[in-house]
Amino acid sequence: MVVSTYSQPNGTPDAPCVSRLVLFKWYDTDSIGFLTPGSVDAPASQLESGSFHAACDPRHLYREQNNGKIALPANQELELITSGDTCKPVYRILSSYLNPGFLIHVSEVLYLSGLPLVFLQTCGMNALAVVGTLVSKGSVTIVRLLQVGLSLQHVTLAIFIENKISLPLRQVREVGNETPQWYISYISILVIKFHSEYLPSGGVYTETSSSPSSDYQLSYLFYLPYESTEVLANRYYLTMPPVEVSSTTGSYVTILDDDLKARLGTATSIPRGIPFMVCHEPHAQAAKDLLDVFLDAEDESELAELALTVRDHVNEALYIFALYGAVYERPDISSADLPRLETVLTDQFVPTDVINKAKRLVKAASIHQDTDTVHVYWQRNSTGLATRNSEQRVAYWREDLHLNSFHWHWHKTNPFSIEPGKRDRRGELFYYMHHNLVARYNFERLGVGLKPAEPFEDWRAPVQEGYFPHLTLGNGYEWGNRQDNTLMQDVIGTGMTDALYISNLELWRTHLLYSVDEKYLISENGSQIRLTDDPSPGEQYGIDLVGEAMEAGASVNPLYYGSIHNKGHMLLDGCNDPDQKHMGHNGVMAATGTAVRDPVFFRWHGFVDKFFHKYKMTQPPYTPDQLSVGVEVLEVKTPNELHTFFTNRTFVASHGIDFQVDPKSNISVLLTSDFLNHTDFTYHIKVNNTKTVDLKPKVRIFLAPKVDEEEQQLTYASLLRYWAEMDVFEADPIAPGVSNITRLSSESSITSNDVYQRTNISSPSANANFPGCQWPQNLLLPRGKPDGMAFRLFVMITDADQDKPLDGGNDPPPSFCTFCGIPGARYPDRWPMGYPLDRKSTYGTIDDFADAYSNMEVVDVIIYHAEEPEEEEHPEN
Ligand code: CUO
């Protein structure tokens, strides 16, 4: 944001004068006016760059037309253009700027359709209506004029009210007319207090950057993504960039200058109103282009200015994606106060009927004016799949909004389109996070008596699991449905979307399978790149290379290995109408905020994970040297019983969806649903440091079910698909001898988020709670069973100093999400992710494996799920 300042030459400026002026805004129109002689309505619909049409009420003809010229202070000139209809004169400003030496001090500003509207009165003389850009620093505000209204004589009737309120006004009197002329039943009145001063000429006018005004909050930029910038700015009193009428939609949009247009690259190429599908390359590229623009901003002020300027021109969810990404990437901006994703893209998480119900209640509340909060409850299993569908049993987990938010944030944080090398071991993170996601989903399935999700490998066979999302985007776009037993088919190309062919997918899979078997990838120039998870310093991990080739991100050979994962998402997404015979809408599978809801997601990622597993099985078992360390784990204790239950959670939805019927009302909408949760617990680990020196222990804790769907104990080999990380952390150094390590479950490495809060930034929020890339705390434990479900808890201690990245790296932050990595830093662990439970072993059982190494221990834990509580009363229903 630019701040204009004026350095005075020698001499004392005139004493400032203080004036007040009353403005009003019609209750049910977008017109404004001011209560002065010759009142004028300036309909927002006629505000255009460089001019506005001042509609004329016959009762309020302008008095000061001055032969087509209006007197203006210092260096200003207005031309009056009469359009033929004398009731609609058009004033056009001839010079873009008011005298730059003219400073005004404004305490409040009216925003008209997002444009700041400042009313000046110069020492009791002429008053001037200004629509312009405000630039401010502290209490000093400078107006950069876009339009200037008309000159006025005297304020003859003014109602001074200190705050913006709405109230009925009974009478308005015109100058020279002692009889009240008209009545207004309901108007909104805003008082702008200011004092103005003329600065002597000869000063120096400069522009510098500043912080946004004190009212500004970063989170506002994320609000109301489906509304125009005008509406957003109007609602939250943001400084509105210039607008113009869009030639395509006819609505007011912000003006993009040529330079910004060029910088935006493909960012504006994704239409508004459709889902943003990050696994679709053009969408990913557009997001990257927009992110780059945001990252180039000099500071937060400029970022805010850019965000407000571009948001009318880019896909709504893409904008949110890039904006979160920018805050995440920028070291100069704290993300601690950002809104949670579900409060912004509420439409992607909450069934349409729930949102519609909230809208109805807001409507009623607006009429009756009996509440300022609407609260809607919905039960997790009240929508989605019918109860006769067994997949419904795990809908609570797939549709958990924190889980979907996490998945969205993960892909935002680690996009496949990121510059190669910018995110350390990104391809491996892709493998590891999704491996855990699939494993944990299967924990849930076993808990409710379902088999693990079957990997989707026969792409010519129908997909048995249908899915009906019951979601509607905030702009009215309904996500597509998929019937049971739908065949995945080639998808025709439409517009900017290339055709998708299953045969391509099959070919790429064959290439990658061949490479995995041969233990090398083939680069674009034909050279062989070996695949090993025991890399030399500087060499990429094999799983990282395979991950990049599979997804596909920074693939060593994009043509040869194609884009199996991404295109699979797209094919499954488009299979409800592959030929576009019905202009079918996209399903949820191609959007990262919704894909996890669909049962086929886990079948697709079951395939992907199985493929990675195949690669992992090409790696030799870890050697004793790679597993041993001079520490004995003597005992691992957790509570004998761990407990899960469903509990209600509430969030604000009215920041994401514009529920307001009356633009001036501000009714909050709260949505509540029930989510899986658990009681916290503590790990107690007794260890013996057998060395003669202190050791910094790294603790690795994993969880897996004890038995499979046939109640058969899982072997070492069969457990490999199940191990899920519970916690991996560095504990305080331990002296030689026996020590105790305790760790709270709430500190888990997968749910940690310190890295996002950037506490080194000055004045971080005391209640920092950035809802970014971390596994949902409420899903740390699987549901279990009412009568208990047995799990294995594997604990291993290694030497943190020996586990540093192969070629160095900074010290890791005290906690960070191990699924998400650390921006701008090496992944702080030299071992392949999932170590040591990611490779085959000569041992038949996990107990034999753990028994062979004193630094490991495996114990049983039982997870009990509390039966459903009695239905709670929800008065709003
Ligand atoms: Cu996360 Cu397929 O990568 O959805």
CB 357 less than 6 A from any atom of ligand 1: no
Does the CB atom of residue 286 touch ligand 1 within 6 A?
A: no
Question: How many degrees, rounded to 5, is the angle at CA 659 between CA 654 and CA 664?
Answer: 95
b/e per residue 169-207 (b: at least 16 CB within 10 A): beebebeeeeeeeeeeeebbbbbbebbbbbbeeebeeee
Check if the beta carbon of residue 444 is closer than 8 Å to that of residue 397: yes
Q: In sequence order, what are the residues at sequence separation of 6 or more whose Cβ sits closer than 8 angstroms to the Cβ of residue 249?
A: none
- Ligand 1 nearest-atom number relative to CA 410: 1
Reported as a pLDDT band with limits 50, 70 and 90, residue 244 is confident
Work out the number of other CB atoms within 10 angstroms of the CB of residue 499: 11
**Atom of ligand 1 lying closest to residue 568 CA:** 2
Give one DSSP letter per residue of 192-235, joined into a string: EEEEEEEPPTT-EEEEEE-PPPTT--GGGGGS-TTS-HHHHHHH
Cβ(60) to ligand 1 under 6 A? no
Ligand 1 center from residue 457 Cα (angstroms) = 16
- Say yes or no to pLDDT of 252 above 80: yes
pLDDT band at 383, cuts 50/70/90? low
Q: How many whole angstroms from 278 Cα to the centroid of ligand 1?
A: 10
Per-residue pLDDT tens over the stretch 575-589? 888 888 887 788 899
Going from the Cα of 204 to the center of ligand 1, the distance in angstroms, rounded, reads: 56
Distance in Å, CA 539 to ligand 1 centroid = 26
Maximum distance among all Cα pairs of the chain, rounded to whole angstroms: 102
Ligand 1 atom at minimal distance to the Cα of residue 605: 2
pLDDT at 767: 30
Q: How many C-beta atoms surround the C-beta of residue 5 within 10 A?
A: 16
Is the CB of 407 within 6 Å of ligand 1? yes
Ligand 1 atom nearest to 569, measured from its CA: 2
Number of helices (H), then strands (E), belonging to the chain: the values are 19, 30
Distance (Å) from CA 602 to ligand 1 centroid: 10
Ligand 1 atom with the shortest distance to the CA of 434: 1
Residue with more model confidence, 377 or 766? 377
Which pLDDT score, from 0 to 100, does residue 43 have?
36
Instruction: Please tell me the residue having the least CA distance from ligand 1 atom 4.
Output: 592
- Whether residue 367 contacts residue 374, with contact meaning beta carbons closer than 8 Å, is answered with no
What φ, ψ does residue 740 adopt, rounded to 5°? Answer: -115, 135
* Residue of 800, 785, 869, 862 whose CA lies nearest to 831: 800
pLDDT at 102: 30
| Per-residue pLDDT band at 247 (split at 50, 70, 90) | confident
Helix (H) or strand (E) segment spanning residue 292: helix 281-296
How high is the pLDDT of residue 748? 93
Q: Among 15-24, 323-332, 706-715, where is mean pLDDT lowest?
A: 15-24
Measured distance CA(326)–CA(165) in Å, rounded: 37
Residue in the block written with tokens 């892709």? 430
Residue 572 has pLDDT above 70, yes or no: yes
Cα 860 to middle of ligand 1, angstroms: 31
Neighbours of 372 (CB within 10 A): 10
Pocket test for ligand 1, best of 405, 408, 592, 612 (most atoms within 8 A of CB): 592
Is the pLDDT at 871 greater than 90? The verdict is no
Q: For residue 116, give the nearest of 12, 7, 223, 194 by alpha carbon.
A: 194
How confident is the model at residue 217, as a pLDDT? 81
Q: Which whole-number Å values give the CA distances from 486 to 459, 464, 600, 608, 852, in the listed order? A: 11, 7, 11, 20, 49
- Tell which one of 434, 456, 564, 600 to mutate to probe ligand 1, the residue whose CB is within 8 A of the most ligand atoms: 434
Whether ligand 1 lies within 6 angstroms of the CB of 797 is answered as: no
Going from the Cα of 541 to the center of ligand 1, the distance in angstroms, rounded, reads: 20
pLDDT tens digits, 411-437: 998 999 888 888 899 999 999 999 999
Q: Count CB-CB contacts under 10 A for residue 353.
A: 14
For the chain, give the percent of residues with pLDDT over 70: 71
**Ligand 1 nearest atom to the CA of residue 596, by list position:** 4
For the cut 90, the answer to whether the pLDDT of residue 457 exceeds it is yes
Residue-level pLDDT at 64: 29
Cβ–Cβ < 8 Å for 647, 674: yes
Query: According to the model, what pLDDT value does residue 225 have?
Result: 95
| Residue whose CB lies within 8 A of the most ligand 1 atoms, among 283, 410, 411, 550, for a mutation test | 411
Tell the residue number behind the tokens 């041969």, with chain if given: 518
The pLDDT assigned to 338 comes to 84
565 lines ligand 1 (CB under 6 A): yes
Q: Which atom of ligand 1 is nearest to the CA of 592?
A: 4
Q: 187-190: which pairs have CB atoms within 8 A and are 24 or more residues apart? A: 187/24, 187/25, 187/26, 187/27, 188/24, 188/25, 188/26, 188/27, 188/164, 188/664, 189/22, 189/23, 189/24, 189/159, 189/161, 189/164, 189/165, 190/22, 190/23, 190/24, 190/25, 190/108, 190/110, 190/164
Is the torsion defined by CA of 106, 112, 116, 121 positive or negative? negative
Q: Is 595 in the pocket of ligand 1 (CB under 6 A)?
A: yes
Counting atoms of ligand 1 from 1, which one is nearest the CA of 411?
A: 1
- pLDDT band with cut points at 50, 70 and 90 for residue 370: confident
Q: 763: pLDDT confidence band, cut at 50, 70 and 90? A: very low
Residues, the chain, total? 877
pLDDT at 386: 57
Position 136: which residue type? S
Q: What share of the chain is helix, strand, coil (3-state, %, to 5)?
A: 25, 25, 50
Check pocket membership of 569 for ligand 1, CB cut-off 6 A: yes
Is pLDDT at 144 greater than 80 in this prediction? no
Q: What is the pLDDT of residues 516-557, one digit of tens each?
A: 999 999 999 999 999 999 999 889 999 999 999 999 889 999
Ligand 1 pocket mutation, candidates 277, 573, 605, criterion most atoms within 8 A of CB = 605
- CA 515 to ligand 1 center in whole angstroms: 22
> Measured in angstroms, how far is the CA atom of residue 717 from the centroid of ligand 1?
25
Residues 724-738 have a mean pLDDT of 96
Instruction: Check residue 701 and give its pLDDT.
Output: 98
Give residue 592 CA to ligand 1 midpoint distance, Å: 7
Nearest atom, ligand 1, residue 551 CA: 3
Confidence at residue 634, expressed as pLDDT on a 0 to 100 scale:
98
The mean predicted confidence, pLDDT, of the chain is: 75
Q: Is the CB of 409 under 6 A from ligand 1?
A: no
Ligand 1 center from residue 474 Cα (angstroms): 23
Q: Per DSSP, what are the bridge partners of residue 112?
A: 115
Residue 856 pLDDT greater than 80, yes or no: yes
Counting from 1 in the atom list of ligand 1, the atom nearest the Cα of 407 is: 1
Report pLDDT digits (tens) over 475-526.
788 889 999 999 999 988 876 667 899 999 999 999 999 999 999 999 999 9
The lowest-confidence range among 114-123, 353-362, 368-377 is 114-123
Distance in Å, CA 279 to ligand 1 centroid:
8
Which of 276, 279, 412 most suits a substitution to test ligand 1, by most atoms within 8 Å of the C-beta? 279
Of 154, 189, 250, 230, which Cα lies nearest the Cα of 32? 189
Q: What is the pLDDT of residue 743?
A: 95
Measured CA to CA, the distance from residue 101 to residue 75 in angstroms comes to: 11
pLDDT for res 185: 23
- Residue 819 CA to its chain's centroid (Å): 18
- The letter for the amino acid at 12 is T
Q: What value does the mean pLDDT take over residues 66-87?
A: 27
> Which has the closest alpha carbon to 65: 87, 43, 33?
87
Q: How much is the pTM? A: 0.76
Task: Round to whole Å and give the CA distance between 698 and 676.
Answer: 30
**Model pLDDT, residue 576:** 85
Question: Across residues 290-316, what is the average pLDDT?
Answer: 94
pLDDT digits (tens, 9 = 90+) for 802-824: 999 887 777 777 677 899 988 77
Ligand 1 touching residue 423 (CB < 6 A): no
| Ligand 1 nearest atom to the CA of residue 608, by list position | 2
Whether residue 412 has its Cβ less than 6 Å from ligand 1: no
CA of 656 to the centre of ligand 1 (A): 24
Distance 509 CA to ligand 1 centre (A): 17
pLDDT at site 329? 84
Q: Give dist(CA 549, CA 523) in Å, integer.
A: 11
Question: pLDDT tens-digit profile of 179-234?
Answer: 332 222 222 222 222 222 333 333 333 333 333 443 568 889 999 999 999 889 88
Is residue 435 lining ligand 1, measured as CB closer than 6 Å? no
pLDDT top residue among 297 and 194: 297
Q: How sure is the predictor about 148, in pLDDT bands with cuts at 50, 70 and 90?
A: very low
Task: Look at residue 215 in the predicted model and tell me its pLDDT.
Answer: 52
Q: Are 576 and 423 in contact (CB under 8 A)?
A: no
CA angle 150-155-161, nearest 5°? 110
Cα-to-centroid distance, 407 and ligand 1 (Å): 8
Q: What is the pLDDT of residue 14?
A: 32
Spatial separation of the C-alpha atoms in residues 120 and 472, rounded to whole Å: 45
φ and ψ at residue 175, rounded to 5 degrees: -60, 135
